[in-house]
Amino acid sequence: AVLELSKTGWLLDITKLTLGENIGEGEFGAVYEGEYMGQRVAVKTIKCDVTAQAFLQETTVMTKLQHKNLVRLLGVILHKGLQIVTELMTKGNLVNFLRTRGRSVVNSAQLLRYALDVCEGMEYLEFKKLIHRDLAARNILVSDDNVAKVSDFGLTKVDAKVSDSAKLPVKWTAPEALKKEKFSTKSDVWSYGILLWEIFSYGRQPYPKMSLKEVKESVEGGYRMDAPDDCPPGVFALMKLCWEHEPRRRPAFHKLREKLEQQMAKHSPD
Ligand code: ADP
């Protein structure tokens, strides 16, 4: 993997990188703000060598993906494990973003815009036949010019290998993925429905006050969350479609994108 990355120009020059403030904590190490050849970047550090090896494989996948709604990889640096350099998303992750701003700052037309941004990124992954497996608002980042982008894609296969089913994000994971580890684009669609709920509730924790065990059991028994306060009925209808028990009855991302565009048109008639 190292050889392939160096041949294709994805190995960056550490002397051109300036590290700045710590801006987040990832599962495998800290995330820093920085600058690389005049561009503001984020640097994710992976300290453990074994994990770094696995991540390196997956960044090779990332080098082949380019879309306006996917956080862009600039390259990697091999120093103290692995450092993954991506575009800097100055407004941070979508959960914190929505929680700190709230209804007084972000209106529902803007929420729809974020939902559509994420959907377009996922439509691209669907087209590339890649499964995210950890789609959730905490993995959506917001750029300086207010575009929501999917992050941690291509890295999620690593997580699945490293962690076990005990570490799955239960509240975001489709029933068939929880029970039989059957992950697919349609299990991503389930997670997208939860993400829609997070967006329209301004970053609330899904299934408020329910334990993971309760969520697993009641969702299996057909329970679904209510619409967030003031959620447009058309958007709640989409959540319900994403939460069909049967994976093939859930809409594909390209279908969801069309439906969201219709919602947008209804919202802002011009
Ligand atoms: P992990 O997936 O290992 O938990 P993340 O990639 O989610 O780690 O990073 C943790 C936090 O760091 C994010 O929630 C976000 O606040 C911040 N972060 C990560 N990548 C970027 C980025 N490209 N730009 C700005 N902030 C980022």
Residues annotated as binding site for ATP?
A: 44
In short, whether 73's Cβ falls inside 6 Å of ligand 1 is: no
Residue 17, phi-psi category: left (phi > 0), alpha (psi -120 to 50), beta (remainder) = beta
Cα 9 to middle of ligand 1, angstroms = 24
Q: Are 126 and 253 contacting, i.e. CB atoms less than 8 angstroms apart?
A: yes
Cα 221 to middle of ligand 1, angstroms = 34
Q: What is the DSSP letter of 168?
A: S
Cα 197 to middle of ligand 1, angstroms = 21
Catalytic residue (choose from 13, 117, 134, 188): 134
ipTM, 2 dp? 0.95
Give the SS3 label for residue 34.
strand
Q: What is the DSSP letter of 250?
A: S
Provide CB contacts within 8 A for 258, sequence distance 6+: none
Q: What is the pLDDT of residues 126-161, one digit of tens each?
A: 999 999 999 999 999 999 999 999 998 755 554 444
Provide CB contacts within 8 A for 45, sequence distance 6+: 26, 28, 29, 30, 31, 32, 80, 81, 82, 83
Q: Best of 33, 48, 90, 151 to mutate for ligand 1, by most ligand atoms within 8 A of CB?
A: 151
Minimal-distance CA residue to ligand 1 atom 6: 26
Cα 161 to middle of ligand 1, angstroms = 20
Q: What is the pLDDT of residues 109-134, one digit of tens each?
A: 999 999 999 999 999 999 999 999 99
Residue 93, phi-psi category: left (phi > 0), alpha (psi -120 to 50), beta (remainder) = beta
pLDDT in tens, the chain (270 residues): 777 777 778 899 999 999 999 999 988 889 999 999 999 999 999 877 777 777 787 788 888 899 999 999 999 998 888 899 999 999 999 999 999 999 999 999 999 999 999 999 999 999 999 999 999 999 999 999 999 999 987 555 544 443 456 678 999 999 999 999 899 999 999 999 999 999 999 999 999 999 999 999 999 999 999 999 999 999 999 999 999 999 999 999 999 999 999 999 987 655
In short, whether 24's Cβ falls inside 6 Å of ligand 1 is: yes
Residues annotated as binding site?
A: 44
Instruction: State the pLDDT at residue 4.
Output: 76
In short, whether 97's Cβ falls inside 6 Å of ligand 1 is: no
Q: What is the DSSP letter of 63?
A: T
In short, whether 186's Cβ falls inside 6 Å of ligand 1 is: no
**CA angle centred on 99, ends 149 and 200, rounded to 5°:** 70
Q: Which amino acid is at 160?
A: A
- Beta-ladder partners of 83: 45, 77
10 Å Cβ neighbour count for 107?
11
How far apart CA 35 and CA 88 sit, in angstroms, is 9
144 has catalytic annotation: no
- Beta-ladder partners of 30: 25
Instruction: State the pLDDT at residue 156.
Output: 55
Q: Which atom of ligand 1 is nearest to the CA of 87?
A: 23
Instruction: State the pLDDT at residue 9.
Output: 81
Q: Are 189 and 252 contacting, i.e. CB atoms less than 8 angstroms apart?
A: yes
Q: Which two tokens stand for residue 184?
A: 């697919």
**H helices present in the chain, as ranges:** 2-7, 49-62, 94-101, 108-127, 156-162, 175-180, 185-200, 212-220, 233-242, 253-267
Instruction: State the pLDDT at residue 154.
Output: 58
pTM: 0.93
Give me Rg for the CA atoms of the chain.
Answer: 19
